[in-house]
Structure 1
C-alpha cells in the first residue's frame, strides 16, 4: 500500500515537471497551501477541499490576478498535515504564470494520493511550511503560509509558538477555518474556530482570515482568499476582478 502511494505521489510530481521554471525566475509570492487531512475530515470533505483548490487555481479571475502582478507569476507548494508527526509535501514548488500552468497544477493535485490520520497539529503544519519556504527555489517578494482546517491545535507544541517563529522570519500566515458544526473526536472546540484562528494562528504583515461556513462553502472561500493573497492587498480585491 505504501509503495503504491509513493508511486502515485511520484507520478503527480512528474506531471508538474513541464511547468517548473528556472530557479532564478522571480515571483510575486511564494505560497504554501497547508491543508488539514486529520480524521475529522471525512472522504467527502477531503474531496471538497481538493476540488476547492483545483477550481480556485484554474479560475480565470485568479489567473488574471497572478498575471497582473509585478512578475506575472507565483510559486506554489501544496502540503497536507495531520498530527505533529505527519506532514507531507504533496506537490513541490511550481511557478504558475498562465492558465495552462494552472490547469497542469490542478491535474497533478487530482492524481495525488491522499491519506487520513488522527489529531490536528497546526504548529506542526506551520513548522513544516517554514522549512518548505526555506527550500523554495524562486526569488519571492513575499512569503505566505495559508493554513486551512476544521479544528484547533490538539497535537504538538502550541500553535502560537510556531506562528511567532514564522512571523519573526518575515512570513505571513493567513487562515481559512472551516466552521464545521461536527465535533472533533466528540469534543467541541474551546472557542469558536474563527476566533481561535484569529488569536492563535494568523500573523505577520497583512495577515487575514476568511472563514468557510462549511465544506460546501470551501471552494468559494478558497478562491476569494487566494486572489487576495496573490494581489497582496489588505482588502478583498475580488470585486475588482469580477
Structure 2
C-alpha cells in the first residue's frame, strides 16, 4: 500500500512538471500577431467612420491578403481589432481570431461590418498604443512578430505623450505602423495638422521595418489598408514610393507635442473643454 501511495505521489509530481510544457506546445504558432487600432474621434464624420469600416472589411477578406497569409512560414496569423479615441475609450470590435483561410477572413470581415462605430471626444494615440501592447501580451498564440497597425486623422492631444507609449512598445519588441488619414471635410479640422504623415513617422511609428502609408483621399482607403496588411503579414520592408519608412534620420527635431499644444491654445481661446 505504501509503495502504491509513493507511485501515486510521483505521478502527480511528474504531471505538475509536464503540464506547463504541454500548455506551451498547445499554443499555435502564427507568423504575426496583428492589432488593428482604429480611430473614432469626433473629428471624423459618420460617413467617414462607415467608409473606414467597409475599407477594413474589404481589405481583410480580399484574396490578396488571404494569399499573403497562406504564403507565410506558418500559413496563419492572429488578428484583432479595436476602436479608440480618448485615453479612456477603447472598444473591442473583434477579439483575437486565428486566420488561416478565406472563410476565417470573411467571418472576421462580417463581424466588422455588423458593428457600428460611435465617435468619442479627444485623440489619445498613446492610449491606443498602450492598450494594443496589453492586448499583444495576452494573445493566445505564439507569434514570430508582434505588430500594431494604428490609423488616425490627427495628432495626440490626450493622455501621456505619444513618444513615451511608442518607445515602451518598441522596447518590448513590438513594431508600430501608421495609417495617417490626411483627408478633408471632417468636423474637426481645427485639430488637424498638414504634415500628419511626418508626425506619424517621427512620433508614432517604430520598430523593425516600421512604415507609414498616408491616405489623402477616402477613395484610397481600401487599397491602402490592403497594401498595409500584405506588408505587415509578410514582414516586408516597404518599397512603394507612397510608403514612408519610419527609420532614424538626421532630420531637424520635430515637435511631437503639437497636438497637445493645439488643444491648449483652442481651449484658452474659446474657454471650453468638450
TM-score by length of 2: 0.76
What are structure 2's unaligned runs of at least 5 residues?
Answer: 1-24, 241-274
Q: How many residues align?
A: 216
Q: Kindly indicate whether the alpha-carbon contact (under 8 Å) linking 2:154 and 2:193 is maintained by their aligned counterparts in 1.
A: no
CA RMSD across the alignment: 1.6
Counterpart CA distance in 1 for 2:70 and 2:151 is 25
The answer to whether the aligner puts 1:128 opposite 2:128 as a matched pair is no
**Distance between the aligned counterparts of 1:67 and 1:212, measured in 2?**
27
Paired position in structure 1 for 2:196? 193
Unaligned runs of 5+ in 1: 1-21, 238-242
C-alpha contact (below 8 Å) 1:183/1:189 kept by paired residues: no
1:97 to 88, 97, 100: 100
Q: 4+ residue stretches of structure 1 with deviation over 6 A?
A: none
- If asked which structure has higher relative contact order (CA below 8 Å, sep 6+), I would say 1
Change over 3 Å in CA distance of 1:189–1:116 after alignment to 2:
closer
Q: Quick check: 2:45–2:186 contact (8 Å CA) kept in 1?
A: no
1:62 aligns with 2:44: no
Give 1:36's aligned residue: 39
Asked whether the 8 Å contact 2:181–2:214 carries over to 1, the reply is yes
- Structure 2: how far apart are the matches of 1:182 and 1:199? 25
Match of residue 138 from structure 1: 141
TM score, norm. by length of structure 1: 0.85
Q: 2:55 aligns with which of 52, 55, 62?
A: 52
Q: Tell me which of 159, 162, 174 is aligned to 1:159.
A: 162
| Displacement of 1:215 | 2.2
